[in-house]
Amino acid sequence: MGLVSTDKAPFALEQATGDLAEGAAKLAEEIGSTAVEALLASANRKAVRKGAAAALGSMEPKPAEWYAFDDKDQDTADWYPQGLTCGEESGSIGVPVFLVSWYFKPEAGERGIRVSFLSPQTLKYQHALLVAAKPDGSYGPIDIHAGGIACHGDLLYVADTVRGLRVFDLNNLLDLRTAQDDLGDPERVGRHGNKFHAFGYRYVIPQTDLWRVVTAGPRFSFASVDHSGDTPLLITGEFKDSDPDGWVGRWELDMSGGEPADAFVMGHPKIQGALSWDDTWYLSQSAGSSAKGKLLVHAGEEARTRQFPIGPEDLTVQDGKLWSVTEFRDKRVVFGVPL
């Protein structure tokens, strides 16, 4: 079983910016933007190097390196990590950093999606809320799964399961402390009167663009960027729980024409992340909250299976290693293994 080329037309995307860019610009003008480096310098949480080892199960060999989220983020049943990208994938962020997307699970009291910025140098990290802004200066949470993220230049791509890819410009990383003395009401979001609220988060990032599916049906579950060749390629595809016919496709970053450059049926169920690198495909496969996952490696006709931690998700490459993030409570780590 392995990747088989398939018709790419069903996965075409079209740009649907609408008033997203206008709303984001209005919000940035009123609040003021900051840099990733400044966010990390003031980060309010601390990861633990080689913590939460339960995430690894009986995996051998162990990852080369891993970072565990703090006790509060390990224990919460409200937020689940899903997507992973990094500064090297971006190519324009000036410091080593991992970005991790989380979705809010409870149906009641929706709080949307957030991204953690984690420094592998200091282990400090900080959450930022991703929001949908309107031209009148208001904004609200985004209720999606955020199963995968990818970064190229200043643009952060977030997989939206049924719509396609949402886009956020990291130049619009907004610090509420520049606009007001406090962080507002931790139970409210948006602009109320002359005050901004973001459920107590200090940083917000408004959506600036949308690449939406042309034909209903394809589902977008993960995202990554292959920057091993001369032309970087944006990768996204579909998780299927029991069927092996989930798809994966690669787009040129200008998204010209809307269709992917190529598309494949993966031949495996439960794929949570996919990445091509130097003519090799890496697929992250989950097996529930208590069993180890697998890393499926396809290079031409050769196929190999490697051990992976419990609950592996999205994939990215930094410092010559393949990195992923795990999602389950008390087993939440960002980890790296050899390519």
185-206 confidence digits (pLDDT tens): 999 999 998 899 999 999 999 9
SS3 155: strand
Distance CA 287, CA 269 (A): 10
Residue 1 predicted with pLDDT over 70: no
pLDDT at 248 > cutoff 80: yes
pLDDT of residue 225: 97
- Whether residue 14 contacts residue 211, with contact meaning beta carbons closer than 8 Å, is answered with yes
The pLDDT-based confidence of 175 (bands split at 50, 70, 90) is very high
Rounded to two decimals, the pTM is 0.97
Largest CA distance in the chain: 62
Distances (CA, A) of 83 to 223, 295, 310, 311: 8, 16, 15, 12
SS3 170: helix
Cα separation, 114 vs 107, in Å, equals 16
Domain boundaries, the chain: 13-233+282-338
**Does residue 242 contact residue 289 with C-beta atoms inside 8 Å?**
no
Please tell me which residue, 257 or 258, carries the higher pLDDT value.
Answer: 258
Task: List CB contacts of 66: < 8 A, sequence separation 6 or more.
Answer: 49, 50, 55, 56, 333, 334, 335, 336
Task: State how far the Cα of 163 lies from the Cα of 273, in Å rounded to an integer.
Answer: 18
pLDDT of res. 159: 98
Residue 120: is the preceding peptide bond cis (ω within 30°)? no
| β-pairing verdict for 48-49 and 65-68 | antiparallel
| Residue 226: strand pairing partners | 233
Token couple for 77: 């049943």
Q: How confident is the model at residue 255 (pLDDT cuts 50, 70, 90)?
A: confident
> Which tens digit of pLDDT belongs to each residue from 57-103?
999 999 989 999 999 999 999 999 999 999 999 999 989 999 999 99
Average pLDDT, the chain: 95
Which amino acid is residue 89, in one-letter code?
E
